[in-house]
Amino acid sequence: MSHHLIEIVRQKLFRKSSIIEELIGKLVYPFRDPHFELNWYLGVLNAARSVDGSLALVICLATNLEHLRLMNLSPEITEAVCRVRWERSIKGASSRVYPLHKLKSLNVVLGKKASIPILTPVEALKVSGEGDIHNFQWPRNGSEAVGTLRSLELRHINLRSNHLHRMLALPAMHGIHHLKMRDVCVLGYDYNHLGELLRVFLPSLKIFEWTGVGESWPPRRVRPFGSFEGFTQLEDLTINLEYIATYGHSIYDPPAPLLQPKQFFPDSLRALTIQNFPQTLLYDLHETCVDSPSENYLLTTAASLGLSAFDLFVIPAEHNHTWLYYKEPDGEFLQELLSGLRDVGTSMRIYFKVYGCDSLVYDSGCAAVGQ
């Protein structure tokens, strides 16, 4: 729809404001003073003189919504329909009266400066940004507002450490089973400290994904998570290699968690995905296994942990001129690796970065893909 047509729709809607007011008056819940709610709805309508303000009103009137997706959410909508504002506007408002109280999942793409909305007791919240700093729209009563949250996914978001800590400390977050942080950046952060917070605040965590701010070459020097041993419920872990590599060691050295997996990963783990795995590590592993097959730490990790799935996302050596002349790992070696993993009950998929995209090259369920 063009901007011209949107403007026509907006004008028609506001010309009928008296009809909208009458409609709201019939639909609002009978409070001691119903004008509280009536005034709040009208405030939503006037929050932004644009199609956004009209959309906010439609959202509030759609009381049976269970699944909602909003694209390029503006600050006006976030502020207008956020539960915090609802409770401030209506004294003694209950959760049942809040318009979006039946919402189960919310998927939001944020515009610039828009807050991450905690609107209602959703089960799943998925938020995408544009790499900007986004604040959370905190509920006044955290336990009531996000009491059923089971899945939280943030993508392309920059966070301040105090906001991240405040989010994790909400009592109602303790029931989260799935936490996925894709391209989330907390600048200059000690992730070992974050690992401790996750163990304390998210004891029910089963699926955890942290991929940082995308690929970097050479990989950044970050303070990694450390041991995941204390995550007793964790079943599925996806993480960039630099977040588990020993701090201060070269990223091109075999990471300690893969050399001594029982000391770093919990017994509950069943699926492990490692991203940003340098191709040079595969080449070095191949060279090592020629003389000492028992030192294949990928195979050892899968066998000792009893993994059912183990995937690698490999960054080609060509991304770094220093390693330009490194040979690719021998295809026969990788096929032997996949065969050995099948023997211990582990499936493996190996992806290579090709023209900026992840391409599946090897799959233990078949021969080399494309061959």
pLDDT class for 82, splitting at 50, 70, 90?
low
The radius of gyration of the chain's CA atoms, rounded to the nearest angstrom, is 25
- Say which residue, 347 or 221, is predicted with more confidence: 347
Average pLDDT over residues 251-269: 88
Average pLDDT over residues 177-191: 86
What is d(CA 241, CA 283) in angstroms, rounded to the nearest whole number? 16
Average pLDDT over residues 39-67: 69
Query: Quick one: pLDDT at residue 283?
Result: 86
- Which region among 98-107, 268-277, 339-348 has the lowest average model confidence (pLDDT)? 98-107
Percent of the chain with pLDDT over 90: 22
Over residues 192-209, the pLDDT tens digits come to: 888 889 998 998 999 999
Chain mean position to CA 263:
26
pLDDT class for 341, splitting at 50, 70, 90?
very high
Provide the whole-model pTM: 0.80
- Which region among 25-29, 77-81, 167-171, 345-349 has the lowest average model confidence (pLDDT)? 25-29
Average pLDDT over residues 68-85: 70
Average pLDDT over residues 340-353: 92
Query: Quick one: pLDDT at residue 322?
Result: 42
Q: Give the CA distances from residue 239 to residues 19, 79, 312, in Å, rounded to whole numbers and listed in that order.
A: 54, 34, 10
- Kindly tell me the sign of the dihedral angle through the C-alpha atoms of 186, 190, 192, 194: negative
Query: Quick one: pLDDT at residue 147?
Result: 57
In sequence order, what are the residues at sequence separation of 6 or more whose Cβ sits closer than 8 angstroms to the Cβ of residue 285?
254, 296, 297, 298, 329
Percent of the chain with pLDDT over 70: 63
Average of per-residue pLDDT values in the chain = 76
Where do the domains of the chain lie? 215-371
What is d(CA 286, CA 289) in angstroms, rounded to the nearest whole number? 5
DSSP-derived letter for residue 326 is P
Query: Quick one: pLDDT at residue 360?
Result: 84
CB 291 within 8 A of CB 285: no
Report for 142-156, 204-218, 255-269, 311-325: range of highest mean pLDDT: 255-269
Over residues 36-50, the pLDDT tens digits come to: 566 666 666 665 555
The C-alpha angle with vertex 35 and arms to 33 and 36, in degrees rounded to 5, equals 80
Average pLDDT over residues 10-25: 63
Q: Is 18 exposed, middle or buried (0-12, 13-18, 19+ CB in 10 A)?
A: exposed
- Which region among 228-232, 245-249, 328-332 has the lowest average model confidence (pLDDT)? 245-249
Average pLDDT over residues 123-130: 87
